[in-house]
């Protein structure tokens, strides 16, 4: 009988230790998940100002407004209506990365106002231009990136030049 009592006490102590360790691990995971959330939020922010002044060539230089979008990104999809508003009446280019079903929806929205680049050319073009993340929007001025932003609301309007007639 003494042996049974000792066995029950030892098993009970082991169970109590297991519960205490589990609670400690859960507290640690919660603390780390909060730190990870802060880190992820900071990683989502990226600096587009490093692009300003870079010279661009080819299809990018031929347009006034260029948008680099990821079809699977909620931030990119949210910017599409503002991009279509700004692209109306300008020479615009939309470079879209992502899965084909998601891309089809964006193509339907953007094709009336912008030239579309998808497929293997989209990531290659983003890499050539040096896009740090999605979405990124560019204003092209005389073959150089004049303005860059992660949101259309932050993208500066194009500079307008006024010609003064000579006398």
Q: What residue spans define the domains of the chain?
A: 1-45, 49-154
Run of H or E residues at 137: strand 136-141
State the pLDDT at residue 40. Answer: 63
Q: Rounded mean pLDDT of the chain?
A: 83
Give the pLDDT mean for 62-70. 89
* Tokens 């290659």, residue located: 124
**Average confidence (pLDDT) over 109-120:** 90
Picking from 46-50, 64-68, 92-96, 148-152, which range would have the lowest pLDDT averaged per residue? Answer: 46-50
155-166 per-position pLDDT tens digit: 877 655 444 555
Q: How do residues 1-17 score in pLDDT, each as one tens digit?
A: 888 999 999 999 999 99
Q: How would CATH label the architecture of 49-154?
A: 3-Layer(aba) Sandwich (3.40)
- CB-facing half-sphere around the CA of 94: CA atoms within 13 A: 32
What average pLDDT score do residues 75-86 get? 91
The mean-pLDDT minimum among 59-63, 120-124, 154-158 falls in 154-158
The answer, yes or no, to whether residue 49 has pLDDT greater than 60, is yes
Helical pair 74-87 and 100-110, crossing angle rounded to 10 deg: 20
The closest of 89, 63, 69, 70 to 145, measured between CA atoms, is 63
């Amino acid at each position: 009988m003494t042996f049974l009592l000792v066995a029950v006490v030892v098993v009970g102590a082991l169970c109590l230790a297991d519960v205490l360790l589990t609670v400690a691990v859960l507290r640690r995971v919660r603390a780390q998940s909060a730190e990870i959330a802060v880190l992820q939020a900071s990683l989502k922010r990226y600096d587009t100002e490093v692009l300003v002044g870079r010279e661009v060539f080819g299809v990018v230089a031929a347009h006034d407004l260029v948008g680099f979008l990821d079809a699977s990104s909620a931030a990119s999809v949210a910017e599409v209506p503002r991009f279509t508003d700004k692209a109306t009446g300008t020479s615009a280019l939309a470079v879209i990365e992502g899965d084909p079903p998601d891309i089809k929806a964006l193509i339907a929205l953007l094709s009336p106002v912008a030239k579309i680049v998808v497929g293997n050319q989209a990531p290659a073009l983003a890499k050539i231009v040096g896009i740090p993340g999605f979405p990124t929007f560019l204003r092209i001025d005389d073959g150089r990136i004049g303005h860059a932003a992660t949101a259309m609301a932050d993208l500066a309007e194009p500079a307008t030049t006024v010609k003064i007639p000579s006398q």
